[in-house]
Amino acid sequence: MAASLADDALTTTQSRRRAISASAIGTALEWFDFSVYAALATVIGAQFFDSDNPTHSFLAAVAVFGVGFLFRPLGALFFGHIGDVYGRHRALALTIIIMGLSTLLLAVAPSREAAGILGPIILVLARIGQGFSAGGEFAGGAAFIVEYAPRRRRGLYGSIHYMALIFGNLMGAALVAVLFHTLSEEQMSDFGWRIPFVTGVFVAMLGFWMRMRLADTPAFTSEKVVRESNPLAVVAKTHKLRVLQGAGLVVGFTIANYAYVNMQGFIVTFGDLPATTVSVMYSASLVVQIALIGAFGALSDRVGRRPVLLAGSVAMAVVVLPAFWLVTSGQAGLAFLGLVLMAVSIGMYAGPFTTAITEMMPVETRYSLISIAYGLAVAIFGGTAGFVVAYLREVTGASVAPAFFCIAAAIVTLVAVLTLRETAPGHDRRAEEEV
């Protein structure tokens, strides 16, 4: 009997490790590509857009980057249905296939000089594919990890999902930093910018292999859960308020992340600092953020999700304006301080975020609800952020104009957090009774 219990415990531990690894690799890849594109926006802009003005080329590349966000809601609807009806692991396997193929397309896209208008068209198609697959990646990974987690450690386990996201971001930034350091400007333009995307293709292949070996989550296979044949119809009929509430939790977070990632391009373009220096500073700030995400995720298991989310949303609203002043100062030390301020505020909110948005959604429609809420917020606000920022800068003439957009979005998220019911076991009786 003792041996049997030990074997069951070992199997559970092994299952959790496999679930975490397989889920995390896709999330990491999504943000690896995200980070690489943002860090190389100036190079990509020069390759695909015919403009003698580097700022215009950079903004055009940022606009294409935003196109991917617009297709996230379609991906959310598609993968949400698959994940709630046929299983989380099947949806996750499919997302990483599409993500890998889209990354491959981006890696081989011909430049404007080589293929004319065809180059930008392929670039846009690649971003559409990445955005579509990303529409199901976050929700699937979140549900998978949280549903496999021990009940009273969900905050910590959920934070691993977002730590993987930032780790992918860090690896992308670090690889770009190495390339800028080792390759000449001409080599970066010729082939260097493609190397990270080729790397991403191999990561996608590994992730697909890992996900194909997974069993589905205990929550999804539980006899307590009534499977819905049309979860999207159930969402539309009974869960519209949850969608709005979930989207509200995402809005400020999305814009803060958008601003933070694109600070690399802003520091190079408007702060007049070398791209190599900026990549190193950004990578160091990501290390700070990863540590904080785990710490605040674990803290939410002790004090509840809401207090930590409230503190994080307030921090995102407060630090962004001074952070933008610092990163556009033209001084490396001040720019790094601005990056760290953003990293701290985002890390505080990110710690409990994945677990909170997962726990607030019922299991039978969880994949669809998270996908739709996350996809809508990211598409509407993240997808238009580049245009809004450009407009604000044109109207105000201020390099810190994006900060005002971030503050408004953070306030929306703060209001959403205030409406959130506490879901941490031990802090709410109903949380103890849920699957």
Query: Which pLDDT score, from 0 to 100, does residue 219 have?
Result: 82
Query: Which pLDDT score, from 0 to 100, does residue 8 have?
Result: 39
Predicted confidence pLDDT, tens digits, the chain (435 residues): 333 333 334 447 777 788 888 888 888 888 788 778 877 777 877 777 766 666 666 666 767 777 777 788 888 889 999 999 988 888 988 999 999 999 898 888 887 777 767 878 888 888 888 889 888 888 888 888 998 888 889 999 999 988 998 888 788 878 888 888 888 888 888 888 889 989 989 988 988 888 888 788 888 887 676 777 788 888 888 889 999 999 999 999 889 988 887 787 778 877 778 877 887 888 899 899 999 999 999 999 999 999 999 999 999 999 999 998 898 888 889 999 999 999 999 999 999 999 999 999 998 899 999 999 988 888 788 667 767 776 777 677 666 777 888 999 999 999 999 999 998 887 665 555 554
Angle subtended at Cα 417 by Cα 297 and Cα 170, rounded to the nearest 5 degrees: 40
Structural contact between residues 217 and 144, judged by C-beta atoms closer than 8 angstroms: yes
pTM of the model: 0.81
Query: Which pLDDT score, from 0 to 100, does residue 5 have?
Result: 35
When the candidates are 1.20.1250.20, 1.10.10.10, 1.10.20.60, 3.40.50.2300, the CATH number that belongs to 22-215+239-433 is 1.20.1250.20
Token pair for 392 = 């604000």
Tell me which amino acid residue 275 is.
A
Which pLDDT tens digit goes with each residue over 377-419? 887 886 677 677 767 776 776 667 778 889 999 999 999 999 9
Which pLDDT tens digit goes with each residue over 136-158? 888 888 888 998 888 889 999 99
Tell me the three-class secondary structure of the chain, residue by residue: CHHHHHHHHHHHHHHHHHHHHHHHHHHHHHHHHHHHHHHCHHHHHHHHCCCCCHHHHHHHHHHHHHHHHHCHHHHHHHHHHHHHHCCHHHHHHHHHHHHHHHHHHHHHCCCHHHHCCHHHHHHHHHHHHHHHHHHHHHHHHHHHHHHHCCHHHHHHHHHHHHHHHHHHHHHHHHHHHHHHHHCCHHHHHHCHHHHHHHHHHHHHHHHHHHHHCCCCCHHHHCCCCCCCCCHHHHHHHHCHHHHHHHHHHHHHHHHHHHHHHHHHHHHHHHCCCCHHHHHHHHHHHHHHHHHHHHHHHHHHHHHCHHHHHHHHHHHHHHHHHHHHHHHCCCCHHHHHHHHHHHHHHHHHHHHHHHHHHHHCCCHHHHHHHHHHHHHHHHHHHHHHHHHHHHHHHHHHCCCCCHHHHHHHHHHHHHHHHHCCCCCCCCCCHHHHHCC
Torsion, CA 82, CA 363, CA 373, CA 136, rounded to 10: -30
